[in-house]
Amino acid sequence: MELWYTEKQTENYGITAKIRETLVTEKTEFQDLAIIDTVEFGRMLVLDGMVMTTEKDEFVYHEMVAHPALYTHPNPKHVLVVGGGDGGVIREVMKHPNVEKAVLVDIDGKVIEYSKKFLPSIAGELDNPRVEVLVNDGYMHIHDHKNAYDVIMVDSTEPVGPAVELFSRGFYQGIYESLKEDGTFVAQTDNPWFKADLIRNVNRDVKEIFPIVRVYCANIPTYPSGLWTFTMGSKKYDPLQVDETKIPEIDTKYYSPRLHKAAFVLPKFVEDLCK
């Protein structure tokens, strides 16, 4: 008998993946959690029925959350990751030797626990001595830590359940105040095919708060529509003003010095959402 996992990406459209094995399923305090082993994409973390990350394509998302911002800020020493309990963004942050401390704040400790157990290639740096892992609401954390971070990355679930507040104007204002005076932040801001209004609204809100706002894209096969956006807000440094010849070639498979600025060239229908 064949077993398949299907994610309904809208009420009328979805993706489906053949499963080898179910490694864990649990209803945590915050969400339904599952880690399944799929034939095509390897092990897959699923929260509330939505693909969070897979062994095969995770590098795209995690590299593209971390490196554009960390090479836009000239000397990021203190970094915050909101969400990201699978550890993938933290693994990429650790490729930056000038980062002295990276704090990860995920509301659900079970995501961290099971990612360490079943997704070691993704979660392997969560025990790095430069990393502090906190189980808390990211919204609370940024309001309790003013003028604290050089770079903040928001690697949250979609705006449902505990992550709803992480797409609010108040949250972006809190990020502004939690950043140092020359800080930069980036948030994953979903896909332009099914979540155009979200991208438009986040862009509007962030532009009201930050002087520099840029949006970039990446291709993530297992995410809704496959085309993903990221919104960067910066107090001082513009990712398009970076001298890409000074960006080192590091151990990546998607991000590169050549891609740094190219990623910000948007398809016209996405540009139109960010006007």
48 is in an annotated binding site: no
On whether 156 is known to bind a ligand per the annotation, the reply is yes
- CB-nearer residue toward ligand SAM: 65 or 179: 65
The answer to whether 26 is a known ligand-binding residue is no
144 is in an annotated binding site: no
Query: At 213, which amino acid appears?
Result: V
Smallest separation (angstroms) from ligand SAM to the CB of 115: 7
Q: Which is nearer to ligand SAM, 84 or 183 (CB)?
A: 84
Q: Is 158 part of any known ligand binding site?
A: yes
In Å, what is the CA distance from 243 to each residue of 14, 41, 192, 234?
40, 35, 29, 17
CB 166 within 8 A of CB 105: no
Residue 62, marked binder: yes
Taking the complex as a whole, the smallest distance from the CB of residue 213 to ligand SAM amounts, in Å, to 19
Least spacing, CB of residue 50 vs ligand SAM, in Å: 7
Q: Rounded to an integer, what distance in angstroms lies between the CA atom of residue 156 and that of residue 183? A: 20
Closer Cβ to ligand SAM, 156 or 234, answer by number: 156
Say how many CA atoms lie within 13 Å of 36 toward its Cβ. 24
In the complex, residue closest to ligand SAM by CB = 83
Least distance in angstroms from the C-beta of 113 to ligand SAM: 11
Would you say 142 or 247 has its CB closer to ligand SAM?
142
Kindly state the helix (H) or strand (E) to which residue 130 belongs, with its residue range.
none
Size of the chain, expressed as the number of residues it contains = 275
Q: What is the DSSP pairing of strand 179-188 with strand 149-155?
A: parallel
Please say which residue, 156 or 178, places its beta carbon nearer to ligand SAM: 156
Concatenating the DSSP letter of every residue in 49-112 gives TEEEEETTTHHHHHHHHHHHHHHHSSS--EEEEEE-TTSHHHHHHTT-TT--EEEEEES-HHHH
Interface residues toward ligand SAM, by CB under 6 A = 30, 47, 52-53, 61, 82-86, 105-108, 111, 137-139, 155-158, 162-163, 166, 188
CA–CA gap between residue 174 and residue 144 (Å, rounded): 9
Whether 251 is catalytic:
no
Cα–Cα nearest to 198, from 158, 157, 155, 138: 158
Catalytically annotated residue among 155, 197, 238, 272: 155
Minimum distance between the CB of residue 201 and ligand SAM, rounded to whole angstroms?
17
Annotated binding residues for S-methyl-5'-thioadenosine? 31, 106, 137-138, 162
- Residues with catalytic roles: 155
Annotated binding residues for spermidine? 62, 86, 155-158
